[in-house]
Amino acid sequence: MKKLYPALIIAAAILTSCSDNENYEGLDAKTFTVNEKVVDLDGKSDPEICAVTDLIAGQNYTAGVVEVAADSENLYVTYRTSGNWVLGQTHLYLGTLEGVPQNEPGNPRVGHFPYQASHSAGTNEVTYTMPINDIDDCFYAAAHAVVYLTDDAGNVISSETAWGDGVAMAGKNWATVSEFCKTGCTNDDNDSIGGPIRRR
């Protein structure tokens, strides 16, 4: 699998695991892989990202970011927490706005999102990788997570629901969604570099 961020190899990875969707039943046969890591955030250089939005926990706290990137073969969606926040679960939907799994009142059913995984203790970075041809040129992303705030010893202080920042969805909830396109990122010379751009 082509690496999205070569700089992450240099980062001090304490724990890395990889699993494919054959381990997750009932996900509509989506093809994807999940990579989770515990990385040393001190002195870690940020990779060049074309589209990024904050990961908001409990409606009031910025717990990290959600990044979208692409190359000629794959689309990559990365959850990365900051500070003492870690990831317990992630649920990701990519597609049309009308296709977001919802119950009758219009609340999202994250357990029915096609890309999802539970993560090892201390995980602060998760990347979903899927074939770029499986995704429409422009698409909506609903990025949900269960995050934990820990103390310096790694003990859990609190648990929160988190969403990638965006526009509010229907229903009595605070779920949010953002629209992205696979092309349109530009460099300083305004030349296309072929990555995703956020449309909000």
Pairing of strands 51-57, 74-81: unpaired
DSSP 3-state of 199? strand
Q: Which residues contact 23 (CB under 8 A, 6 or more apart)?
A: none
Q: d(Cα 181, Cα 8) in Å, to the nearest integer?
A: 25
Q: Do 179 and 187 form a contact (C-beta atoms < 8 A)?
A: no
Q: d(Cα 98, Cα 92) in Å, to the nearest integer?
A: 15
Residue 167 CA neighbour count, 13 Å, CB half: 9
- Report in angstroms the alpha-carbon separations of 141 from 64, 156, 199: 16, 28, 11
Return per-residue pLDDT of the chain as tens, 200 residues: 333 333 333 333 333 333 333 333 444 546 667 777 565 545 443 334 568 899 999 999 999 999 998 887 888 899 999 999 999 999 999 999 999 999 988 899 999 999 999 999 999 999 999 998 998 989 999 999 999 999 999 899 999 999 999 999 988 899 999 998 876 443 334 343 344 555 44
Report the predicted TM-score, pTM, of the whole model to 2 decimal places. Answer: 0.74
Q: Which residues contact 103 (CB under 8 A, 6 or more apart)?
A: 109, 171
Runs of H (alpha helix) within the chain: 6-10
Burial 186-199 (b: 16+ CB within 10 A, else e): eeeeeeeeebbbbe
Burial 161-184 (b: 16+ CB within 10 A, else e): bbbbbbeebeeeeebbbbebbbeb
β-sheet bridge partners, residue 121: none
Paired tokens of 92: 């990701």
Paired tokens of 101: 């799994």
